Amino acid sequence: MNPDRNSTSGNLSTSVAGDIIRALDADDKGAVRRLVESLHPADTADLLEWVSHRERNRLVDTLREPFDPDILAELGEAVAERVVERLGTVQAAEAVASMATDDAVEVVEALDADVQQAVLGVLPDIRRDRIQEGLAWPEDSAGRLMQRNVVALSDDWDVGRAIDYLREADDLPADFFDLFLVDRGYRPIGAIPLSRVLRTRRTSALTDIVRPDLRTIPAGMDQEEVAFLFRQRDLISAPVVDEDGRLLGVVTVDDVVDVIHEEHEEDILALAGVGAEDNFFEAIMETTRSRFIWLMIHLIAAIAASWVISMFAGTIQELVALAILMPIVATMGGTAGIQALTVAVRAIAVKELTPMNAVRAIRKELLVSGLNGLLFAVLIGGVAWAWFASPALGGVIALAMVINLLTAGLTGSVLPVVLQRAGFDPAVASSALLTSITDVVGFYVFLGLAAALLL
Amino acid sequence: MNPDRNSTSGNLSTSVAGDIIRALDADDKGAVRRLVESLHPADTADLLEWVSHRERNRLVDTLREPFDPDILAELGEAVAERVVERLGTVQAAEAVASMATDDAVEVVEALDADVQQAVLGVLPDIRRDRIQEGLAWPEDSAGRLMQRNVVALSDDWDVGRAIDYLREADDLPADFFDLFLVDRGYRPIGAIPLSRVLRTRRTSALTDIVRPDLRTIPAGMDQEEVAFLFRQRDLISAPVVDEDGRLLGVVTVDDVVDVIHEEHEEDILALAGVGAEDNFFEAIMETTRSRFIWLMIHLIAAIAASWVISMFAGTIQELVALAILMPIVATMGGTAGIQALTVAVRAIAVKELTPMNAVRAIRKELLVSGLNGLLFAVLIGGVAWAWFASPALGGVIALAMVINLLTAGLTGSVLPVVLQRAGFDPAVASSALLTSITDVVGFYVFLGLAAALLL
């Protein structure tokens, strides 16, 4: 045991990675295996994600027989699939067979249907059944996240009997954090953190040290909801139950950490119009296709804005300063709108924005955007006046600025609430909708006011 | 104990919240206290964040004497400060005095300097010293996150002695997940998950069941780095050490869950140009000010774009179709650039994008944006040709589209890497910089090509 191993760097160092690549290039399999052995499986997984397709295949070939299941469990979907394909059905199944159910379900669900069937086909029956039970739950549900192996004790035991049982049992999960008490119907009725068990004398009843506030998780609960619960209640593990309240398995905080991470990632990418699949390691064609759709939406919105401008073609020809200034009003509206929108989307995600305070939130956004609208109206009005020596033009752009920033504040705060009520994910598509509105309103108000007041 | 309490809803239900507000309005303090008592402290904290300023003060007044420290620990910074002010120094200090060090540091660091001094002034000496030691570590460091109370055992103990010690000791933390073995210099040399202790016979040496891969966390480590480690290694708790490797405290996964959440929130808000302080519960003036700066940056960028347009005023006057079409090229560049940028910012944050694969990442973005550039060139070229019956105009906008999308892909992937190398947070300011570049290039290329080729 070397306690200092890796303890200074937060992750796989570039130099170790470089050494491994060089050993691969020199075809020195012994050196590759030795170097990888010194790494944590999560770091080896990172390495497999960083390297090129060709290097990955060589690395997999060097590390097979047997391939460490912990590495497979730590890989992202896109790369996991490629590694399984390279490993081949039999060796992949061997790795999957020795994983905890939750990890195994995660790896298997990432595979294409035919590869999935092939891998499941060579698994021992009992493992296959467990994994298929996991896959039967909806994607992103607690049922998919849970580990089936769980420590459930009868509620009439005492601490001594529990400890004796734990010392004898040989089918316990590798790690666990709470003991669950179950009634005769195998329904969980309490959780006991292990630290309480260790601090209590053997003769005390388990029911004396049970935490008073058990939270059970229905297997169908969405993982985002599960993550919210863990964060809100500082949970380390929680029992998953079926419709009759019977204990099915346990969700642990390490999986929840991954879920929180994934869900945030989805939000941040969705706001930028990138599909959640637009993983760094996705292939070029898939990335191009997934971004195309979003760009198409923006193209249609941009053409709509152009059509608005075309209604004022005559006005622009008479006063070309309008063409010069018009993008400013639209840009500022889009920027202010995205600010309000992002705050609202985030607040909805963390349940800070609720039906209870939506009106207050919208009022606040209107005030903030109104105040900034006034400030920027003065600024841009002054610039336009000075630039084109026209106080009237300054007045028109100032007025357009106030109106468009108010539109931005209102749209940015209302749109996510409306989308959420209508059952959509407010992060998806709302930014495209928002900038369409601020562009169209920005051009229309500025050019329309100019046509009415200046000519 | 009622195990079903709250177990169907993921969070504070609107109906309970409504009942509490109504009881407050009716000045029925007994009912308010009864309703709040049925809530988890985290839910009460949510309620305090949702309600208006006046309702919050009344709620605090009803719940004081004594105010539940767990509620205080769960509040966000902005609201925690207001609640402490309302509670008054003495009662706030009472609550802080009974918190774990990490929670106490978190509450105290949120306070204004004078309130902070007042609260610290009335704390018992030993508590004050502990909190001030925590505050001495840099903001967002492991030292701020850690709980000082930690279970450290000598490495020559056996399991039986450890269990006996845990049963006797009365200064243990409320909850703990690992035992840490320390050498004679109080340096941690290993961690033992509690489940292993419970599964092992009394006569086994602790060193026989220690996990082989201890990760120690230097107290100065940034919390983002700490979170990465926990996620990468599926840690539940980890020992924090000083410069000489001596054990100072422990970071637990529940705090890390909050950190992951905070850091993601900062990224998502920074990309939209909203300061991390722009919390949903911030006051209006602060929000207006924090957003003003970002809008100012965008105003300057927009004026730069207008200046580019003004160079082609004559061209636009001759061919007003250019004014109508020009926002399309700029908009599409900005959209494609934000896609590439967000993917890169996220990949840097999760350490998927490293110096090792930056060149490959940039090449991929150029290919993706080049492909989409060609597709949208054909689309918009066709639209422009049909709209203005001018194949030449279609050709010009098609060419401008390809050039601007390539610019977007290049800038979106290179900019975050460059900002990161230069020591900046790539999430901050990069989207404003990006859209400035795509706007300026979009207008310049489209109008410049039109001036050169069409007139």
Q: Measure the CA–CA gap between A135 and A130, rounded to whole angstroms.
A: 9
**Least confident among A171-175, B1-5, B62-66:** B1-5
CB spacing of A357 vs B50 below 8 angstroms: yes
Is residue B155 within 8 Å of B183, Cβ to Cβ?
A: yes
C-alpha A22, offset from chain centre: 35
**Residues B62, B166 within the same domain:** no
Output the DSSP codes for B334-382: HHHHHHHHHHHHHHHHTT-S-TTTHHHHHHHHHHHHHHHHHHHHHHHHH
The pairing of strands B237-241 and A152-154 is unpaired
Q: Is B172 exposed, middle or buried (0-12, 13-18, 19+ CB in 10 A)?
A: middle
The helix/strand/coil state of A249 is: strand
What pLDDT does residue A9 have?
37
CB spacing of A232 vs B11 below 8 angstroms: yes
With a cut of 70, say whether residue B144 has pLDDT above it. Answer: yes
Closest in A10, A303, A350 to B383, CB measured: A303
A381-425 pLDDT tens trace:
999 999 999 999 999 999 999 999 999 999 999 999 998 888 888
| Other CB atoms within 10 A of residue B259 CB | 20
Q: Measure the CA–CA gap between A289 and A295, rounded to whole angstroms.
A: 10
| Domain-embedded: residue B61 | yes
B/e letters for B44-78, b = 16+ CB within 10 Å, e = fewer, are bbbbbbbbeeebbebbbebbbeebbbbbbbbbbeb
Q: Which ipTM value was assigned to this complex?
A: 0.81
> The dihedral of CA B441, B443, B444, B448: what is its sign?
positive
**Residues B293, B437 within the same domain:** yes
E strand spans, B77-123: none
**Residues A429, A330 within the same domain:** yes
Token reading at A94: 């061997």
CB spacing of A339 vs B225 below 8 angstroms: no
If one counts the domains in chain B, the total is 3
**Residues A442, A308 within the same domain:** yes
**Residues A228, A245 within the same domain:** yes
The boundaries of the domain holding residue A301 are 284-453
CB spacing of B257 vs A254 below 8 angstroms: no
Q: Measure the CA–CA gap between B98 and B87, rounded to whole angstroms.
A: 15
What pLDDT does residue B10 have?
41
What pLDDT does residue B278 have?
56
Token reading at B50: 């949702």
Taking contacts as CB-CB distances below 8 angstroms, the residues of chain A near B236 are 177, 236, 253-254
B/e letters for A82-104, b = 16+ CB within 10 Å, e = fewer, are bbbebbebebbbbbbbebbbbbb
CB spacing of B261 vs A350 below 8 angstroms: yes
Q: Measure the CA–CA gap between B259 and B238, rounded to whole angstroms.
A: 15
Amino acid (one-letter) located at B235: L
| Other CB atoms within 10 A of residue B128 CB | 19
Q: DSSP 3-state helix, strand, coil percentages of chain A (rounded to 5)?
A: 65, 5, 25
Residues B148-159 have a mean pLDDT of: 92
**Residues A102, A220 within the same domain:** no
Point out the domain boundary residue: B145, B163, B192. B145
Taking contacts as CB-CB distances below 8 angstroms, the residues of chain B near A1 are 190, 210, 212
**Residues B121, B258 within the same domain:** no
Q: Measure the CA–CA gap between A191 and A212, rounded to whole angstroms.
A: 8
**Residues B424, B312 within the same domain:** yes
Q: At what angle do helices A101-109 and A125-136 cross, to 10 degrees?
A: 70
* Choice between B444 and B3, residue whose per-residue pLDDT is larger: B444
A258-268 pLDDT tens trace:
998 888 888 88
What pLDDT does residue B264 have?
83
Cα–Cα nearest to B61, from B42, B88, B90, B38: B88
Token reading at B294: 């970002």
Cα–Cα nearest to A177, from A199, A195, A198: A195
CB spacing of A328 vs B199 below 8 angstroms: no
* Closest chain B CA to residue A335: B295
Cα–Cα nearest to A255, from A177, A172, A138: A177
With a cut of 70, say whether residue B67 has pLDDT above it. Answer: yes
| Other CB atoms within 10 A of residue B154 CB | 14
CB spacing of A190 vs B1 below 8 angstroms: yes
**Residues B130, B232 within the same domain:** no
Q: How confident is the model at residue B384 (pLDDT cuts 50, 70, 90)?
A: very high
Q: How confident is the model at residue B9 (pLDDT cuts 50, 70, 90)?
A: very low
Q: What are the backbone dihedrals phi and psi of residue B355, each rounded to the nearest 5 degrees, phi first?
A: -55, -30
Task: Give the predicted TM-score (pTM) of the model.
Answer: 0.81
Name the average pLDDT for chain B. 88
**Residues A48, A192 within the same domain:** no
Amino acid (one-letter) located at A444: Y
Q: What are the backbone dihedrals phi and psi of residue A239, each rounded to the nearest 5 degrees, phi first?
A: -80, 140
CB spacing of A298 vs B225 below 8 angstroms: no
Cα–Cα nearest to B80, from B111, B113, B35, B116: B111
Q: Nearest CA of chain B to the CA of A135: how many Å?
A: 23
Cα–Cα separations (whole angstroms), residue A240 to A228, A246, A247, A331, B11 = 15, 8, 6, 49, 17
Q: Nearest CA of chain B to the CA of A326: how many Å?
A: 8
**Residues A421, A357 within the same domain:** yes
| Domain-embedded: residue A2 | no
Q: Which CATH number does the domain housing residue B325 bear?
A: 1.10.357.20
* Choice between B337 and B268, residue whose per-residue pLDDT is larger: B337
Q: Give the residue from B77, B186, B257, B262 with the most A CB atoms within 10 Å of its CB, the best one to mutate.
A: B257
| Domain-embedded: residue B43 | yes
Cα–Cα nearest to B193, from A394, A253, A17, A405: A253
Is residue A298 within 8 Å of B332, Cβ to Cβ?
A: yes
Closest in A199, A213, A257 to B5, CB measured: A213
What pLDDT does residue B455 have?
81
| Domain-embedded: residue B405 | yes
**Residues B202, B176 within the same domain:** yes
C-alpha A271, offset from chain centre: 12
Give the DSSP H or E segment for B413: helix B391-421
C-alpha A255, offset from chain centre: 13
CB spacing of B353 vs A268 below 8 angstroms: no
Per DSSP, B239 falls in state: E
Token reading at B357: 């694969």
The helix/strand/coil state of A444 is: helix
The pairing of strands A152-154 and B178-182 is unpaired
Place of tokens 């243990």: B172
Q: How confident is the model at residue B323 (pLDDT cuts 50, 70, 90)?
A: very high
Point out the domain boundary residue: B241, B271, B301. B271
Q: Is A286 exposed, middle or buried (0-12, 13-18, 19+ CB in 10 A)?
A: middle
Q: Give the residue from B201, B339, B434, B438 with the most A CB atoms within 10 Å of its CB, the best one to mutate.
A: B339
Q: Which CATH number does the domain housing residue B222 bear?
A: 3.10.580.10
| Domain-embedded: residue B163 | yes
Taking contacts as CB-CB distances below 8 angstroms, the residues of chain B near A397 are none
Cα–Cα nearest to B392, from B454, B449, B448, B447: B454
Output the DSSP codes for A208-221: GS--S----EETTS
Q: Measure the CA–CA gap between A70 and A60, rounded to whole angstroms.
A: 14
Q: Is B90 exposed, middle or buried (0-12, 13-18, 19+ CB in 10 A)?
A: exposed
What pLDDT does residue B2 have?
33
| Domain-embedded: residue B6 | no
Q: Measure the CA–CA gap between A108 and A72, rounded to whole angstroms.
A: 10
Point out the domain boundary residue: B113, B145, B177. B145
Q: At what angle do helices B391-421 and B358-388 cross, to 10 degrees?
A: 160
* Closest chain B CA to residue A360: B52
Token reading at B81: 């400060």
Q: Nearest CA of chain B to the CA of A121: how many Å?
A: 30
Taking contacts as CB-CB distances below 8 angstroms, the residues of chain A near B383 are 303
With a cut of 90, say whether residue B1 has pLDDT above it. Answer: no
List Cβ neighbours of B184 (8 Å cut-off, separation of 6 or more).
none
| Domain-embedded: residue A369 | yes
Taking contacts as CB-CB distances below 8 angstroms, the residues of chain A near B301 are 331
Q: Give the residue from B253, B307, B428 with the most A CB atoms within 10 Å of its CB, the best one to mutate.
A: B253
CA geometry: angle A285, A288, A294, nearest 5 deg: 150
Beta bridge partners, A42, equal none
Q: What are the backbone dihedrals phi and psi of residue A270, each rounded to the nearest 5 degrees, phi first?
A: -65, -40
- How many CB contacts within 8 angstroms connect chain A with chain B? 368
| Domain-embedded: residue A185 | yes
- From first to last of its 455 residues, what are the pLDDT tens digits of chain A? 333 333 333 456 777 888 888 888 888 888 888 888 888 888 888 888 888 888 888 889 888 878 888 898 888 888 888 888 888 888 888 888 888 888 888 888 888 888 888 888 888 888 888 888 888 999 889 999 999 889 999 999 999 999 999 999 988 888 899 999 999 999 999 999 999 999 999 999 999 999 878 889 999 999 989 998 999 888 999 999 999 999 999 999 999 999 988 888 888 888 887 775 556 666 788 888 888 988 999 999 999 999 999 999 999 999 999 999 999 999 999 999 999 998 888 888 777 787 778 888 899 899 999 999 999 999 999 999 999 999 999 999 999 999 999 999 999 999 999 988 888 888 777 888 899 999 999 999 999 999 999 88
Place of tokens 């949120």: B110
Q: Which CATH number does the domain housing residue A29 bear?
A: 1.25.60.10
With a cut of 60, say whether residue B121 has pLDDT above it. Answer: yes
Q: Measure the CA–CA gap between B18 and B13, rounded to whole angstroms.
A: 9
Taking contacts as CB-CB distances below 8 angstroms, the residues of chain A near B306 are 324-325, 327-328
